[in-house]
Amino acid sequence: MSFKHISVLLDETIQGLQLKEGMVAVDCTVGLGGHTEHLLQQVGTTGKVIGIDQDMNALNIARSRLAVDVDSGRFKPVQGRFSEFERIAKECGVFGKINGVLADIGVSSMQLDAPERGFSFMSDGPLDMRMDQSTGQTAANVVNTLSDAELAKIFWQYGEEPKSRMIAAKIVKARDEKPFSRTGEFAEFVKRELRYPKPSKKHPATKIFQALRIHVNAELEELKALLLSAFEGLAPGGRLAVISFHSLEDRIIKHAMQALTAQHLQQAIPRDLPVTSIQMNQIVGAKGVIVKPFPMGPSEKELSENPRSRSAKLRVIEKL
């Protein structure tokens, strides 16, 4: 079995989390276990990492890769969703005691590159797109059953596709004759009907596929639920690090972190007040501090080694 996934922003994440020997960490997006392996190194032989992923295939690969740590009890893989974070952390007895949480959100290369998972317009497969294949609606269900207004909303909100209404109407008309079932035919249909005149580096169906994936996996709702419960689950001084890949996600992360650090109140207070930053945090009722004012992105070296890291952004918050 080969493991092609390259973990993004690895050094920055490890540095941002500042885990030490004996600490407890939760990796909410185990994938193939790339980041997890490094978190395990940081917490040492006396520490522990709980690893969550909703994709059972990925979790099984990580479980066998890190079998030694599973056997020693240092690594506990758990299948579940972001929205189940609180329940999982409580069942593991760590809620409120966690020193570091990592979420490297989105799909993994393994999911994207496997035609049978149905995420890719580059290769033909069933139009599925579920990260957890044991439950929920497939992308085919979505495109074959939702109204044109509902589809247009998804394409616009999650894909920012300018021709969202037009393509939704075409889909609804075409599916009456033959429902969509394969990524290949759906991508070709979208490409043909969108009729973008200028050739572009991106496949014309990119935005539609992104939007469907976000909807099928309720990605933004899941992210919002995670940000609140993961922060609650930290011990004082614990850190939450989140890596995202597009602006819809990064905006949610930025706003959640700003709310937890009461940034709107901090900005309203005159800068020359004779108070320390600790006093300031108490005055405004901040629950956390943002570790770096701007999100961290990939270095030139990482970009050249892994072009998929191009849009990755890392934000870190520390609980007070």
Ligand X SMILES: C[S@@+](CC[C@H](N)C(=O)[O-])C[C@H]1O[C@@H](n2cnc3c(N)ncnc32)[C@H](O)[C@@H]1O
- With contacts defined by CB under 6 A, name the span among 50-58, 181-189, 197-205, 311-319 that binds ligand X: 50-58
In angstroms, the CA 21 to CA 88 distance is 23
Instruction: Indicate which single residue of 26, 48, 53, 95 sits in contact with ligand X (rule: CB under 6 A).
Output: 53
Establish if 81 lies at the interface with ligand X (CB under 6 A).
yes
Candidates 47, 51, 100, 106; binder of ligand X (CB under 6 A) is 106
- Measured between alpha carbons, how far is residue 214 from residues 7, 85, 123, 187 in Å? 21, 19, 19, 17
CB distance 320 to 286 below 8 Å: yes
Q: Which helix (H) or strand (E) holds 104?
A: strand 98-104
Count of residues touching ligand X (by CB under 6 A): 21
The interface with ligand X within residues 18-37 (CB under 6 A) comprises 29, 31-35
Tell me if 108 contacts ligand X by CB under 6 A: yes
CB of 33 to ligand X, least distance (A): 6
By DSSP bridging, strand 98-104 and strand 234-244 are parallel
d(CA 81, CA 76): 15
- Distance in Å, CB of 240 to ligand X, minimum: 15
**Of 114 and 289, CB closest to ligand X:** 114
In the chain, count H helices and then E strands: 16, 7
Rounded-to-integer distance, Cα 312 and Cα 11, Å:
13
**104 near ligand X (CB under 6 A):** yes
Nearer to ligand X, 52 or 227 (CB): 52
Q: Which is nearer to ligand X, 102 or 142 (CB)?
A: 102
8 Å CB contact between 101 and 25: yes
Work out how close the CB of 94 gets to ligand X at its nearest, in angstroms, rounded to a whole number: 17
Interaction of residue 131 with ligand X, rule CB under 6 A:
yes
| Closer CB to ligand X, 99 or 108, in the complex | 108
Compute φ and ψ for 235, nearest 5 degrees: -80, 160
DSSP state of 82: G
Exactly one of 7, 99, 183, 229 binds ligand X (CB under 6 A); that residue is: 7
Query: How distant is the alpha carbon of residue 154 from its chain centre?
Result: 18
- Which residues of this protein are in contact with ligand X, per CB under 6 A? 5, 7, 29, 31-35, 52-55, 58, 81-82, 104-106, 108, 131, 222
